[in-house]
Every structure is written in C-alpha cells, then in structure tokens.
Amino acid sequence: MPRPEATPRREVDAAHIVELERALARVAYLLTRVRRHDRAMAQCGITMDRASVPLLRLLADADEPLRLGELAARLDVEAPHVSRQIQRLEKSGHVERVADPDDRRAQRVRPTAKGREAVDAIRDVLRGWMGDALSEWSSEDIKSLAVLNHRMVDAFLDHAENIGDYVPGARDRRRL
C-alpha cells in the first residue's frame, strides 16, 4: 500500500523547536532513570526489572491475552526480548500463558491477579509523584498539557508513518 503524500512543511520557529527538543530530552532522562525505577519498585514493594514494566502494563491494558509476536510488535522490539521478559514475569507469578483459541499450537499471555495488582501499584506511585510535582499547577494547565502532549505524540506518529517508520499499536492512548 503506498504511503500517503506528506503534507507540505510549514515553517516553524527553529528556536522553539530547539527548546521543545531540550525539554523532551530532559523529560525522557527523568522518566527513564534507573534510580527512579528502583525507588518506585521499592515504594510498591515489588521486585521487577525496568524492561518488564512496560510489557506488564501493556498486557494489563489489553482487552484479551496477546501473542508474543503481537507484544513485540506493539513495543517495537525483537521477539526474543519479549520471550525472555515473559519468562521472567511468568516465573515471578505476574503473567500466565493460556491457549490461543484461534490456533491450538500457539499460546497467548495475560496478567495474573498479582500482575494486575503490580501494575496498579506502580501506576499509583508514578501518578502520585506526578501529582506532587505538578501540585502548584492549575487543573486547566494540567489538562492543557495532557491535550498538547497527546497532540504532539499523534503528530510524531503521523510523521513516523510518513517516513515509513510505522509503530504498531502506538496510537492507543492506553499503551504503556
């Protein structure tokens, strides 16, 4: 299927783009620090490596159990990586494998009650931290930030698709 034609580029203020890129780099750094993950896990009373958290969150948000290949595609990672993480999560009791109703040879994965509880605890801690950090902001400012962030992510996804870098499942706002 041919890609849609890219819309003509509108001139944007380069200085604003530089500042936005800097702000996003700072946010990405803050959100992906090992120390932050370790502190969140300690506060939740959970032992889980960083790579397992987005995988478990994705499974908890899914409407049905997912195949490993679908998980890998949605996370835009290689299948062996997902397989290793699922083995760890299964061993720790956070996920379980179930038969695939469409193919008896295949299996799907779903979170256990322990896995769902872990996701809820992690989200509660992270939302609490975010609420604390933004406690001086007005509700309207927080709402505007959320709307603009979703709009920005959608624009980034449109651009990724236009240049042939499609990310399966990324349009789902519940993702991760």
Q: How confident is the model at residue 77 (pLDDT cuts 50, 70, 90)?
A: confident
Domains contained in the chain, number: 1
Report phi then psi at 116, rounded to 5: -65, -40
Q: What is the CATH number of the domain that holds 132?
A: 1.10.10.10
Mean pLDDT of 8-25: 85
Residue 175 lies inside a defined structural domain of this protein: no
* Sequence-ordered list of residues with C-beta below 8 angstroms from that of 125, at least 6 positions apart, any chain: 40, 43, 44
Residue 94 lies inside a defined structural domain of this protein: yes
pTM to 2 decimals? 0.80
DSSP annotation string for 123-160? HHHHHHHHHHHTTTS-HHHHHHHHHHHHHHHHHHHHHH
- Going by C-alpha positions, the residue among 19, 5, 68, 43 that lies closest to residue 123 is 43
Residue 73 lies inside a defined structural domain of this protein: yes
Residue 174 lies inside a defined structural domain of this protein: no
Q: Which domain holds residue 110?
A: 23-162
Q: How confident is the model at residue 158 (pLDDT cuts 50, 70, 90)?
A: confident
Tell me how long the chain is: 176
Residue 65 lies inside a defined structural domain of this protein: yes
Mean pLDDT is lowest, of 69-78, 90-99, 132-141, for 69-78
**What CA–CA distances, in Å, run from 62 to 13, 18, 36, 75?**
39, 36, 26, 13
Element of type H or E holding 40: helix 34-44
Residue 12 lies inside a defined structural domain of this protein: no
Residue 170 lies inside a defined structural domain of this protein: no
Q: Report whether 122 contacts 59 (CB < 8 A).
A: no
User: Of 100-104, 149-153, 172-176, which one has max mean pLDDT?
Assistant: 149-153
Mean pLDDT of 83-105: 94
Residue 4 lies inside a defined structural domain of this protein: no
